Amino acid sequence: MTGFQRIAVLGSTGSIGESTLDVIARHPDRLGVYALSAYSRMERLAEQAVATGAAVVVVPSDDARARFLAAWPAAARQPDVRVGSEALAEVAAAPECTTVMAAIVGAAGLPAALAAARSGKRVLLANKEALVAAGALFMAAVRDAGAELLPIDSEHNAIFQCLPHGGRAGAPQAPARGVRKLILTASGGPFRRHDPADLENVTPEQACAHPNWSMGRKISVDSATMLNKGLEVIEAHWLFAMPADRIEVVIHPQSVVHSMVEYDDGSVLAQLGQPDMRTPISYGLGFPERLESGVGPLDLTRWGRLDFEKPDFERFPCLDLSFQALRAGQAACITLNAANEVAVAAFLEGRLPYTWIPRVISAALEWQAGLSSVTLAGLDDVLALDVAVRRFAGDLGTA
């Protein structure tokens, strides 16, 4: 994209949001903030709005608005404070905005991400749950509106970098020519070597202690169960129009190789770097150019060796459930994601044992498979099934 980018950072107080603001601040000549949004931590949102000079902020409720205004320093020029999820989608589609960082966690981020695609923005997509719930709808919107779609998830950003793209970032309808398969790397999370029998009493703090990446709590739990890698397989299927049987997962505990593309001639291209999300974020912001990101050089001699191993589907049942959902279709993918969001929230609040997360997902998938017929023609249908799954999963004793 040539010219100055005016960016809406949706989910600005989160891990990806903070990293995005860090990169933007390094390039005042070409990047600026148009809007910010957060669901909680209004004091932090106010600090960010002062620092970036955001014209608009979006908060979830009137109460949050009052807290934001109470935290606002009298001397600074106040931004336009908008309330609610419809305002999020409006901001994402606003003509004042060129670029949207979709960094809200969960399916809650879907309507705004879709609005950004439908209005032809440059969309930096971190919110993988949006693609899992509505991949076909989202990719069609990118295509129809001529939006630019840059994957921010480190694996997909790596794959994008290793694929031929001719300087364009859109929505492919078929796998790139000459590509045999995509290889997603996974760290294996904090429980890679644990005996599954010892996981019953795992605490949220243990599950969130990721060995390599510093991330929000939901994705950290997803990394421990490897449901995160399952969501990423589904994400890769949509982003790169790749069938499930040509997407492979490999455990790579050092998280230095961010993912790989295998070609028909036997070549394998990989993208390497430090595990720091500012690299994929700056790639998305600068595309097709490279921007300074604040990430230091990768010293491979410090690592000495890089390890790779096959994932154990019995140890990580969530990975198996994800492949099953992808093969079963969109309703199953919506179910997988929504049931997982409910189960992970219950686990983080101490209401559900860690080992019950795959059980809740599995029960929800069985329930969904037994439903007579589900029409998924548009966003409303997707959100209606998402709500129904949450109700079912909640009734299992997780809410």
Q: Is 222 in the site for Mg ion (CB under 5 A)?
A: no
258 binds, among ligand NAD, Mg ion, none (CB under 5 to 8 A by kind): none
203 binds, among Mg ion, ligand NAD, none (CB under 5 to 8 A by kind): none
CB-based contacts of 74, cutoff 8 Å, min separation 6? none
Which of 42, 396 has the CB closer to ligand NAD? 42
Span near ligand NAD by CB under 6 A; candidates 116-124, 134-142, 200-208, 211-219: 211-219
CB of 222 to ligand NAD, least distance (A): 7
Span near ligand NAD by CB under 6 A; candidates 121-129, 139-147, 186-194, 239-247: 121-129
For residues 109 and 49, give the distance between their C-alpha atoms in angstroms, rounded to a whole number: 20
Span near ligand NAD by CB under 6 A; candidates 127-135, 346-354, 374-382, 386-394: 127-135
155 is in an annotated binding site: yes
Q: Is 267 in the site for ligand NAD (CB under 6 A)?
A: no
Which of 187, 373 has the CB closer to ligand NAD? 187
DSSP-assigned letters across all residues of 5-63: EEEEEETTTSHHHHHHHHHHHT-TTTEEEEEEE-SS-HHHHHHHHHHHT-SEEEESSHH
Beta strands in 61-213 (DSSP E): 80-83, 99-102, 122-125, 148-151, 179-186
What separation, in Å, do the N-terminal and C-terminal C-alpha atoms of the chain show?
A: 45
Q: Is 14 in the site for ligand NAD (CB under 6 A)?
A: yes
Q: Which of residues 145-184 bind Mg ion (CB under 5 A)?
A: 153-155
14 binds, among Mg ion, ligand NAD, none (CB under 5 to 8 A by kind): ligand NAD
- Most distant CA pair in the chain: distance in Å? 63
Beta strands in the chain (DSSP E): 5-10, 31-37, 56-59, 80-83, 99-102, 122-125, 148-151, 179-186, 247-251, 257-263, 268-272
For residues 182 and 337, give the distance between their C-alpha atoms in angstroms, rounded to a whole number: 22
**8 A C-beta contact, residue 11 and residue 88:** no
**8 A C-beta contact, residue 34 and residue 7:** yes
Q: Residues 13, 279, 322, 337: which binds ligand NAD (CB under 6 A)?
A: 13
201 is in an annotated binding site: no
Q: Residues 7, 23, 24, 38: which binds ligand NAD (CB under 6 A)?
A: 38
312 is in an annotated binding site: no
Q: Residues 23, 33, 59, 108: which binds ligand NAD (CB under 6 A)?
A: 108
For residues 284 and 151, give the distance between their C-alpha atoms in angstroms, rounded to a whole number: 7
For residues 109 and 116, give the distance between their C-alpha atoms in angstroms, rounded to a whole number: 11
90 is in an annotated binding site: no
Strand order of the sheet with strand 268-272? 247-251, 179-186, 257-263, 268-272
Q: Residues 55, 183, 277, 345: which binds ligand NAD (CB under 6 A)?
A: 277
Binding site for ligand NAD (CB under 6 A): 11-17, 38-40, 103-105, 108, 126-129, 153, 213, 215-216, 218-219, 277
Annotated binding site for Mn(2+): 153, 155, 232
Binding residues for 1-deoxy-D-xylulose 5-phosphate: 128, 154-155, 187, 210, 223, 228-229, 232
Question: Residues interacting with Mg ion, by CB under 5 A?
Answer: 153-155
**Numbered residues of the known binding site:** 13-16, 127-129, 153-155, 187, 210, 216, 223, 228-229, 232
